[in-house]
Chains A and B, each alone.
Chain A
Amino acid sequence: MGRSYLGEFEELVLLAVAVLTDGAYGVAVAAELKQRTSRTISLSGVHIALYRLEEKGFVHSELGGATSARGGRRKRLFTITSLGRQTLGELREVRNELWNSIPNPSMS
């Protein structure tokens, strides 16, 4: 497959962006992941993952709404691109295939 490599954390972030649809930005993604995975998530890590995903073309970003809690600063809102969706789908398929090939499915 000629697509870019996607790390485990990057995959999670990309999924979170997909889940959050229009409201995906740093804090929201971090909160989402924290809640779902119950691991410590650092903002800096999330940001780097987002920027990398953008460089790879999986997400697309624009600057959006400022709130008083942010000190009037705008947030960068990320949305998943079709390439991102396609890649996630491919990944899922690969996994499913692998799962299906496990001889004793009862292990889960």
Chain B
Amino acid sequence: MANPSTPPAWADRLLRWLCPPYLVEELLGDLHEQFADQVDEIGEHKARQRYVVEVLTFIRPYFLTRQAAHFINNTNDTLKTGNQLHTSAVRPLRNATYGDYPRPFLLHPSMLRNYLKIAFRNLWKSKGYAAINVVGLSVAFFVSVFLFLTAYFQLSFDSFHEDGDRIFQTYLFSNDPEKASRSSGMPLPLTPAIKADFPEVEAVSRLMNGSNVVTYKGKSLDKQVMLTDPDFLKIFSFPMRKGNRATALNDRSNIVISENMAKAVFGTEDPIGKRVQLGLDENRKDYVVTGVLGDFPDNSSIKYDAFIQIANSGNYQSDKDKWDAMSHIVYLKLSPQVDQATFENQLKPFAKKYFAGNFDGLKKKGAKPDERGDLFAIRLQKLANVHFDTEISGRSGTPVALVYALCGIASFILLIACINFINLSIARSFSRAKEVGVRKSLGALKNQLFVQIWGEAAIICFVGFVVGMVLAYLLLPTFNTTFQGKLTLDYILQPDKLAIILGLFVLVTLVAGGYPAWQMAKFNAVEVLKGKVTIKSPGLLRNSLIVTQFTLSSLLICCTIIALQQVDHMRKQPLGFQKEQVISIPVGNKVNGQQALKRMRNLLASDPMVVAITGSGVNLGLGKDRSTSRSVMGFTYKEREVSTDWLHIDYDYLKTLNINLLAGREFNPAYPSDTSARVIITESMAKMIGEKDPVGKFFQTDTAGARYQIIGMVPDFHLYSTTNEKKPITMFLSFNDNINYIFVRVAPQSLAGSMDKLKGVWKEVAPQSEFTGTFVDENTDAWYKSEERLSKIFSLASGIAILLSCLGLFAVALMVIEQRTKEIGVRKVLGASIPSIVIILSQDFVKLVVLAIALATPLAWFFMQKWLDGYAYRIEISVWIFILVGLAAILIALATVSFHSIKAALMNPVKSLRSE
């Protein structure tokens, strides 16, 4: 064999890895020899194959366990110095199998088994504590998992777009002397002007909400058809499933639809190139589907079914050169070389050029430039912040404070549960001091003890965690309905969310288990075994932890009560109209509102049940369609800047809502000219234009436009939520504008059947459209949805917090009193009365609770004062809240403690003193 063939080297490597090193030489030798024989016998190729098979058969427990043992032993030998004998021996473990025992490694299976056994015995011995810990931890886990995930969901809004850091929404800032304001409404000519003037803007697009009826093959569907520019698809990275991103919206008759809508409209057909109709009757128009976009994720601010060009919007022709008609929002994407501040500076001369009128108006009002030197400016909001900017995004956004409140509450609850755990573990640690002493004297290292005790804590945490997760799974639907959450199991089971959940678990295990374990591992073995480490109270730490718990709990309770009072206060705020017995019917897109109203009037004219019918462009409160709109008109009247809600109404609006006229008259079909350029205004509008007696006066909204005559004045009323003050309102009547809502006032005695009756009538009036009427008082209640949600979260959290705190207090009290059994016995023998003993036992805890309340009160006052500042109609925080919460907390704490203290006080001193 001049050039001997060799077996595959990787197989040799595998064998070395599989088998203990002291066997490798002889095994490899035998294998190679056999290989050499087989090469001669059956040829090299087959021999190599057999060789591999042969090596694979070495994957056997016999070799693997010896290899693992060898590995562990070696690591152990390097950890602990000394005993060079082992390593110098030729075959250490084979010697070992004949004689001396291998040294057990810290994490050796049998040691682990021992740890587990001890852990379970300990837990079993103190079932009560274990149960309290498990209950506390599991509740804390599932609540905080919900809250953190909700917060995470909110924080991840709009984070899925590529280059999100370069995408901005524009807003107009005006430093009004009354109140600096920011608004996101933009005029139509702004976008083309930006595109022409600023090459550094990569893409800019208008976006206007619109809902529309989509008709295909005789089937009509209500869809959210957004009006936008072709650049929209360049700015946002919603995935394009079909069609060409660059050209899909290039034509006025193109439509890009979502996957969902493609399914709803076309089923399994390929939608590309198909024609659909949008709009009603004479406004109906054909569109060609040129693209299919993926559906928007739940955490997207932009929600859509389809997109068409903004040039298709109804007022495009009339408004496309008007710089004062704000109708939509604008997104833009800057090129990477330009940063936000630079571009905002570049926009300054641009704003001066196109918004000269706004500058003049503000100057006349006496406005001063703000700290950035702007009276009026176009500024940018980062896409990531849009969702949290409630001033810009309207009520659809979530205040970022709410998200932080969620995180804060979740942390509070976790903290309280951890404190319970720490308190109980430390209190109990002294009963295990002897075990630690014995282990130490047998050679256990501090680290090993730490791992063992911490491991026990980890077991409890793990049980709590598992129970918590099961609870979370079971309560997920309840949680979602209560908090309008969108958490689903699929959502939670994604890697990043699982990482959050596991992170929580690890954090709790480290904090709650680590500290007590470290304390115990530190015990001095000699003193412990001599019995010198007595059960002295770990006072300061335990007490401060209890104070922390009760501070957090009372803080949450105070916040809850104040939030509930505020919501109630806003509800009770007089709206300025009578909301009871009025039904509001959203017209929807499939029906022409003007015609529907006319037909309703005809059908119900002689009905005794109906008191009055009217229509309007704006709903009162939030109906089942959950939509709201607002149009504001700004103009100059006798040198005054005027801004008013511009409300389209129909005949009998005031009658339907029971609003009394202060002066003048209501719209009346008897005066034909009422349908154009006649308005009714509210009191504050009269004040704004500075007319004491406005009836009969004229004003113009722009120099070329119509002259509006004021024919009536009414008291102020709330067209929108009582979060804000009553704004000036101007009402006009027109047959050309859309009626979006029909209001019907029904007679009080026929309230019960009225909804069904109207449903029947609606079926006659608009058979193709679903009836979604609701009572206006329900609608106005919906205004306080977010406040209500907040107070619900607060009440849940404070309930859980106080419950957990009491649970902890209960256990700590039990332990403290057990430790004082002898003292109580001696006191009783010396003649102490039962009440005096109860007082002695309870006062320590009550002191802590009082301190906690003293800490919580100013905090709660401060936070809630800030929160209430956001409301136009706010309550004053009453001292009584704090006094009552304080008393309640003390009572609850007393009740918790007294269970044990009374039991202890009643005990026969003979029993407690006998054992020695």
Contact = CB atoms under 8 A, between A and B. Distances in A.
B173 interface: no
Contact of B30 (A25, A55, A63, A68): A25
Interface string A50-83: 0100010000000100111111011110000000
A31 B34 CA distance: 9
A25 B28 CA distance: 13
Contacts of B27: 26, 43, 47
A25 B169 CA distance: 82
B30 A47 contact: yes
Given A43-B31, A43-B34, A69-B33, A75 B26 contact: yes
Interface in B879-903: none
A45 B59 CA distance: 11
Interface residues on A, range: 20 to 34
B60 A75 contact: no
A51 B27 CA distance: 12
Interface string B730-749: 00000000000000000000
A46 to B, nearest CB: 8
B424 to A, nearest CB: 50
B54 interface: yes
Interface in B17-36: 23, 25-34, 36
A34 B711 CA distance: 117
Tell me which of B1, B27, B33, B54 has the highest count of chain A C-beta atoms within 10 A of its own C-beta: B33
Contact of A44 (B33, B36, B37, B58): B58
B30 A43 contact: yes
A16 to B, nearest CB: 14
Contacts of A45: 57
B429 to A, nearest CB: 46
Contacts of B30: 25-27, 43, 47, 70, 75
A21 interface: no
Interface string B443-486: 00000000000000000000000000000000000000000000
A70 B54 contact: no
Main secondary structure of the interface of A (DSSP, over half): helix
B33 A63 contact: no
A30 interface: yes
A27 to B, nearest CB: 5
Contacts of A86: none
B42 to A, nearest CB: 13
Given A27-B34, A43-B34, A55-B97, A73 B29 contact: yes
B671 interface: no
A48 interface: yes
Contacts of B862: none
B54 A44 contact: yes
Contacts of B101: none
A43 B27 CA distance: 9
Contacts of B32: 69-71, 73
Contacts of A76: 26
Contact of A73 (B25, B60, B63): B25
Contacts of B34: 27, 30, 43
A87 to B, nearest CB: 19
A66 B28 CA distance: 12
Contacts of A68: 4
Tell me which of A42, A48, A68, A71 has the highest count of chain B C-beta atoms within 10 A of its own C-beta: A71
A75 B63 CA distance: 18
A47 B60 CA distance: 12
Contacts of B10: none
A27 B54 CA distance: 12
A66 B60 CA distance: 27
Tell me which of A25, A47, A68 has the highest count of chain B C-beta atoms within 10 A of its own C-beta: A47
A71 B54 contact: no
B183 to A, nearest CB: 80
B54 A43 contact: yes
A63 B57 contact: no
Nearest to B24: A73
B57 A70 contact: no
Nearest to A46: B30
Contacts of A31: 37
A76 B91 CA distance: 13
Interface string B44-55: 000000000010
Interface string B474-504: 0000000000000000000000000000000
Interface in B41-82: 54, 57-58, 60, 62-63
Given A55-B97, A63-B26, A48 B62 contact: yes
Contacts of A63: 26
B782 to A, nearest CB: 76
A75 B28 CA distance: 9
Given A30-B34, A55-B97, A75 B54 contact: no
A45 B56 CA distance: 12
Nearest to B6: A71
A73 B28 CA distance: 8
Contacts of B31: 43
Contacts of B57: 42-45
B54 A74 contact: no
A76 B23 CA distance: 10
A66 to B, nearest CB: 7
A69 B26 contact: no
A43 to B, nearest CB: 6
A26 B37 CA distance: 14
Contacts of A75: 26, 29-30, 33
B28 A42 contact: no
Nearest to A72: B29
A47 B29 CA distance: 12
Contacts of A44: 54, 57-58, 60, 63
A51 B34 CA distance: 19
Contact of B26 (A30, A55, A67, A73): A73
Given A43-B31, A63-B26, A69 B36 contact: yes
B25 A67 contact: no
Tell me which of B1, B28, B58 has the highest count of chain A C-beta atoms within 10 A of its own C-beta: B58
Given A43-B34, A48-B60, A55-B97, A71 B28 contact: yes
B746 to A, nearest CB: 92
Contacts of A55: 97
A52 B150 CA distance: 61
Tell me which of B28, B37, B62 has the highest count of chain A C-beta atoms within 10 A of its own C-beta: B62
Given A48-B62, A69-B33, A71-B32, A26 B26 contact: yes
A62 B32 CA distance: 19
Nearest to B55: A44
A9 B34 CA distance: 20
Tell me which of B4, B26, B62 has the highest count of chain A C-beta atoms within 10 A of its own C-beta: B26
A12 B468 CA distance: 59
Contacts of B62: 48, 51
Nearest to B7: A71
Interface of B: 1, 4, 23, 25-34, 36-37, 54, 57-58, 60, 62-63, 97
19 contacts: A25-B30, A30-B34, A31-B37, A42-B57, A43-B27, A43-B31, A43-B54, A44-B54, A47-B30, A48-B63, A68-B4, A69-B1, A70-B32, A71-B32, A73-B25, A73-B26, A73-B29, A74-B29, A75-B30
What are the 4 A-B residue pairs with the smallest beta carbon separation, nearest first? A73-B29, A26-B30, A70-B29, A69-B36
